[in-house]
Amino acid sequence: MSDSPIAVEQHEHRPELRHHFATVEQQRDSATLGMWLFLGTEIMFFGGMFCAYLIYRIWYYNEFAAGSRSLDIYLGTTNTIVLICSSLTVALSVRAAQLGKRGLVIILLILTLIFGLAFLGIKGVEWYDKYKEHHIPGSSFDAGDLVREYPQLHIDQSHEQIYFSLYFAMTGLHALHMIIGVGIFVYLLYHTWKGLYTPAYNTPIEIGGLYWHFVDIIWIYLFPLLYLIDRKPLR
Amino acid sequence: MFDNFPLWPVAASTGARNVDALYIFLVLIAAFMSVAIFTMILIFALRYRRRKGVHAEQIEGSMALEITWSVVPLGIFMVIFAWGAIVYFQERTPPRGANEVYVVAKQWMWKLEHEEGQREINELHVPVGRDVKLIMTSQDVIHSFYVPAFRIKQDVLPGRYTTAWFRATKPGTYHLFCAEYCGSQHSGMIGQVVVLEPAQYQAWLSGGLASGSMAQNGEAIFSQLGCPTCHRFDTQGRGPNLKGIFGKPVQLEDGRSVVADENYIRESILSPSAKVVSGFKPIMPVFQGLVSEEQLTALVAYIKSLSSGPSGAASTPTEPSAKP
Amino acid sequence: MATAAVTAERENYLNKEYGIRSWLLTTDHKRIALLYLASITFFFFIGGFFALLIRLELLTPAGDLVQADTYNKLFSMHGQVMIFFFLIPSIPAVLGNFLVPLMIGAKDLAFPRINLLSWYLYITAGLVYLHCIVMGGVDTGWTFYTPFSTAFSNTKVIEAGIAIFIAGFSSILTGLNFVVTIHRMRAPGMTWSRLPLFIWAHYATSIIQLLGTPVLAITLLLVVFERAFHLGIFDPTRGGDPLLFQHLFWFYSHPAVYIMILPSMGVVTEIIPCFARKRVFGYSAVALSSIAIAVFGFLVWAHHMFVAGISLYSAMIFSILSYMVAIPSAIKVFNWTATLYKGSISFSTPMLYAFGFIGLFTMGGLTGLFLAALGIDVHVTDTYFVVAHFHYIMVGGAVMGYLGGMHFWWPKISGRMYPEGWGRLAALIVFLGFNLTFFPQFVLGYLGMPRRYWQYPPEFQVLNVLSTAGSTILAVGYVLPMVYFLWSMRYGKIAPDNPWNAAGLEWKTTSPPPTFNFEEEPVVTWEAYNYDQLPEPQEVSLER
């Protein structure tokens, strides 16, 4: 693979080849490794919050259950489907790029962007609902509605605020990564349209795709952890 | 300025001597290792300094040496670890029957209350030769109760109790420091521990304006807050009978079993639905915000006293349960 | 005699282009290294200035130089500036950036533009932190413990947190660049077992930067949110847990200390073979010990929390693991010592710093054994014993390694020799000043003087006076290299390609190197530290 030494004289002249690399393969392998390492750091980044979530869910299960139930499961499920579809279009776009089908790549990237923006839109609706219900942590936080709705859970409002703090921190950070992803894909769309990517060189689409898949996977974890804590019918 | 220039702290507790023994052992090891390495480097540097016509000998390495100087230090380290762990275990395991003192730390003072009801600020009077156990909490930020002469230190946290203990061996006055940075006057949050001969200590105890022992105060607060309405001692009330529960396991309604220690009592008062006793309904009112830390410690002392005779030698568990 | 030689200069990375744009928009790893050099030196002096004020205050038991609140800010910002804006970038961002491509035979790092981005992130972070200082500073201690930082402090906690958050990303990207570079950009024939141990050290450091720093980032972010929106994640009055903060914080901050020490261990491992004229003893052991330190370093964080309220049993686990992590460091010290055996040793400035490193790191590391011992830690944690321990490693170790490396590679970086006599004198002054500053603090710690104390009982004064005296000497030792390095850029002797006859690819190109490092891509057919094949160097001149 690309860990092996590269022959000295094989310096190709390709417009996309940056001068400090010897070959396009070296450049591509470096970019891919770089993206995988970056995604590793992202796992650690989200990991801190998953750790806090784990501990507080064990300690304050009732409040987490009530908070989870207060989320709109239909919107959450829709968003999950939206993101999975977007990962499909991303994967297909990488394949299309490898096959040199520029038109198809453009269509798929546009679809991805539509899915991504749909996700963000639905997320915005959900957050607005939380705002109306006074579930946004801070000085105006009030989970009295949950206290009344689930008297058998004996909800402590400060514990409930922790659930929602983690909810907003986790979905907020995820949404921020989605926004960055949308930006990346606008960039990719533009460069595809300009004809920059070929079967021989489509690394940006490949590593952009990796990033998008990662953001999707984070959501696949967030969805059950936040929305599906305790959905069975209450006694 | 140069009056007192100590180089070694006074050792005034049983634990202090244990710590000092381990410390001296470590100093000897560290000194020996440092001197050995420095000497070897010095000898090599002189013996093998650059000379005309003399070349370095290229030595690859030696598996035998690598293993030796990995395994031997490991062995020494395990000895140190074990010794340190034993000392730590002793430090963190208060003996049964200790005198108990409740400590409430706040920015920037120490408030202490003896079982007998004596209150002190920034000073702690104790008798020599008796085990003393400190049950501590903070009203605001994290502090740390540190008495160098006893070699004890324990962070004092808001929201829960932590404990420390010692048995003083020498009458005298010793520094008490706050050892966890807590804001503006962190370095002013100091005081002293005054160790008295038993007779002097008794005199001191009875000399103050005690308004009843902590347990007695706790009993009064217990009544004022209406606790006996549900927590009856004569018949089965709406709440569990608290006689004799302290230090014993409690079966909870969700199947768990916990030991009824200081932290459990405190939590049950402030957040009663967290751990509901099996067979009871979660109807106890929440007292968060309605009781001060001092009232809480008095209530804890009272409930402890229900597990023993009036003398106060309670069957205490040795350590309030720690969260991970 | 020194000559400001007016020979026809070959084109190199310094004279290829002039003008501020060519520096601020460079993607040349060597220029970026110098950008970092200037910036971290600036912050070193800011942090050093705070240290000087701290030591001056501590001359007397009473708090009479500054107010308590000011003192609290001084030690907090001294720690944050030194750790996040000096130590963590120092060797990787200056020497690592400069040397990693050269040592492996590459033209640049894998991602030169990301390298420049790293520097700009660092500068942004630095500006935010400077603004924080100017607007009143932060007084939480460098450790930001909650609930003090989230609910009680009246200082610029949010700004400081944001600054460090941004600096963290600079660190992460540098680490990412190094890992990809070392994997993918090695010259033909440069196999893993032929890599200089400096590279192995930076590889291990980069792994820690990649995996650990993001956890600090999220922790600081949560602290900022909690403070800004009055959340309760770490606040017990709102259902949170202050110990959760400590676990998350130390999960990064302990591996961070290995980020700070591993690179300087790498530097020492280059210097000693060169000035003993023999290959390193136990190459594989030294290489693997770097990796072992990186791995084990992630398993010991709660040894900072032995009295924090964790359970007895977790304390024991962390204690035993802390002894495990000491073993690889011990292995390095033994291997360095063995490298001297039957060598041909000369005492140039870099070698003096390397000797100083071994001595002081050994002492600092041995005192770590004290702290890992649970029974002792109860007495000495949060006292000056800990302060002395980590300064022995960070200053006696990391900074001496950094200075040794700066002297060793200065000819390569600048094309000039520094004045050897002054170099040796400064090394000696640093060594003596350092010991006088910090050794008394071990005694103070065992006596019971807590750390972060603005005022203290009178019986601690004599030792504090000794410490302050040492710090003034240390300051002189640090100023000297600043002066003569600058001096040498104009008046220093022109350096040959390989003034030390050292092994390593970086010495096979000119001093300073051309922009793309090598005239021809090197092909490596020899093992690392091939001192058997290299001639003896000329005697290192003591001329000014």
Query: pLDDT tens digit string along C180-218?
Result: 999 999 999 999 999 999 999 999 999 999 999 999 999
Among A44, A18, A50, smallest CA distance to A171 is for A50
User: pLDDT band at residue A10, thresholds of 50, 70 and 90?
Assistant: very low
Please tell me the predicted confidence (pLDDT) of residue A13. 65
**Nearest chain C CA: its distance from B192 CA (Å):** 12
- Domain-located, residue C535: no
- The ranges assigned to domains in chain B are 9-43+63-211, 214-305
List CB contacts (< 8 A) between B183 and chain C. 72, 139, 148, 152-153
- Residue linked to tokens 């929201």: B159
- Domain-located, residue C528: no
d(CA A170, CA C515): 44
d(CA C313, CA C336): 36
Please tell me the predicted confidence (pLDDT) of residue B309. 52
Please tell me the predicted confidence (pLDDT) of residue C541. 53
Q: What share of chain C is helix, strand, coil (3-state, %, to 5)?
A: 70, 0, 30
Residue C413 clears pLDDT 70, i.e. is over it: yes
B-proximal residues of C, 73-132, CB under 8 Å: none
DSSP labels for B211-244? -S-HHHHHHHHHHHTTGGGTS-SSS--SS---TT
Question: CATH number for the domain including C173?
Answer: 1.20.210.10
User: CB atoms < 10 A from the CB of B226, how many?
Assistant: 10
Residue A1 clears pLDDT 50, i.e. is over it: no
- Residue linked to tokens 């970056």: A38
Query: pLDDT tens digit string along A149-187?
Result: 988 888 889 899 999 999 999 999 999 999 999 999 999
- Domain-located, residue C536: no
d(CA C68, CA C66): 7
d(CA C39, CA C33): 10
Q: Taking CA atoms, what residue in B is nearest to A153?
A: B273
B214-305 is classed in which CATH architecture?
Orthogonal Bundle (1.10)
Residue C6 clears pLDDT 50, i.e. is over it: no
Strand partners, B177: B146
CA A175 to chain centre: 7
DSSP 8-state assignment for residue C104 = H
**Nearest chain A CA: its distance from C218 CA (Å):** 6
Please tell me the predicted confidence (pLDDT) of residue C231. 86
Query: pLDDT tens digit string along C248-295?
Result: 999 999 999 999 999 999 999 999 999 999 999 999 999 999 999 999
ipTM > 0.90? yes
Please tell me the predicted confidence (pLDDT) of residue A154. 84
pTM of the model: 0.93
User: pLDDT band at residue A223, thresholds of 50, 70 and 90?
Assistant: very high
Please tell me the predicted confidence (pLDDT) of residue B1. 40
Distances (CA, A) of C36 to C24, C44, C78, C418, C515: 11, 12, 19, 20, 17
Q: What's chain C's average pLDDT?
A: 95
- Selected residue with higher pLDDT from C6 and C305: C305
List CB contacts (< 8 A) between B34 and chain C. 359, 362-363, 366
Please tell me the predicted confidence (pLDDT) of residue A234. 66
User: pLDDT band at residue A67, thresholds of 50, 70 and 90?
Assistant: very high
Query: pLDDT tens digit string along C71-108?
Result: 999 999 999 999 999 999 999 999 999 999 999 999 99
- Selected residue with higher pLDDT from C327 and B213: C327
Please tell me the predicted confidence (pLDDT) of residue A3. 42
Query: pLDDT tens digit string along A122-141?
Result: 999 999 999 999 999 988 99
List CB contacts (< 8 A) between C211 and chain A. 40-41, 44
Q: Taking CA atoms, what residue in A is nearest to B286?
A: A156
- The ranges assigned to domains in chain A are 24-46+72-132+166-227
Whether omega for the bond prior to residue B204 falls within 30 degrees of 0, making it cis, is no
> In terms of DSSP bridges, do strands B143-147 and B152-156 run parallel, antiparallel, or are they unpaired?
antiparallel
C340 closest CB neighbour out of B41, B159, B324: B41
Is there a contact between A48 and C218 if contact means CB atoms under 8 Å apart?
yes
Instruction: Compute mean pLDDT per 10 residues along chain B, 324 residues long, and list them.
Output: 74 96 97 95 94 88 94 97 96 94 95 91 95 96 97 96 96 97 95 95 80 88 92 87 92 89 93 88 86 92 81 45 46
Chains that touch B (3 or more CB pairs under 8 A): A, C
List CB contacts (< 8 A) between A139 and chain C. 230
Residue A8 clears pLDDT 60, i.e. is over it: no
Instruction: Please report, in angstroms and rounded to a whole number, the separation of the first and last CA atoms in chain C.
Output: 7
The fold of the A24-46+72-132+166-227 domain, in CATH, is Four Helix Bundle (Hemerythrin (Met), subunit A) (1.20.120)
DSSP 8-state assignment for residue C10 = P
Please tell me the predicted confidence (pLDDT) of residue A14. 76
DSSP 8-state assignment for residue C383 = B
Containing structural domain, residue C403: 27-508
- Domain-located, residue C275: yes
Query: pLDDT tens digit string along A21-31?
Result: 999 999 999 99
- Residue linked to tokens 């690394």: A203
- What is the arithmetic mean of pLDDT over C118-141? 97
Q: In this complex, is the C-beta atom of B321 within 8 Å of any C-beta atom belonging to chain A?
A: no
Is there a contact between C107 and A158 if contact means CB atoms under 8 Å apart?
no
Whether omega for the bond prior to residue C499 falls within 30 degrees of 0, making it cis, is no
Which of B50, B144, B266, B321 is most worth mutating to test chain C (most C CB atoms within 10 A of its CB)? B50
Which pair of tokens denotes residue A70? 């207060």
Residue C539 clears pLDDT 70, i.e. is over it: no
**Nearest chain C CA: its distance from A173 CA (Å):** 10
Please tell me the predicted confidence (pLDDT) of residue A81. 97
Residue C162 clears pLDDT 90, i.e. is over it: yes
Task: Give CATH for domain B9-43+63-211.
Answer: 2.60.40.420
**What element of type H or E holds B285?**
none
d(CA A49, CA C275): 49
- Selected residue with higher pLDDT from B314 and C128: C128
Among C56, C78, C80, smallest CA distance to C66 is for C56
Q: Taking CA atoms, what residue in C is nearest to B153?
A: C378
Sequence-distant (≥ 6) Cβ neighbours of residue C169 within 8 angstroms: C121, C213, C217
**Nearest chain C CA: its distance from A137 CA (Å):** 6
User: pLDDT band at residue C378, thresholds of 50, 70 and 90?
Assistant: very high
Is there a contact between C145 and B84 if contact means CB atoms under 8 Å apart?
no
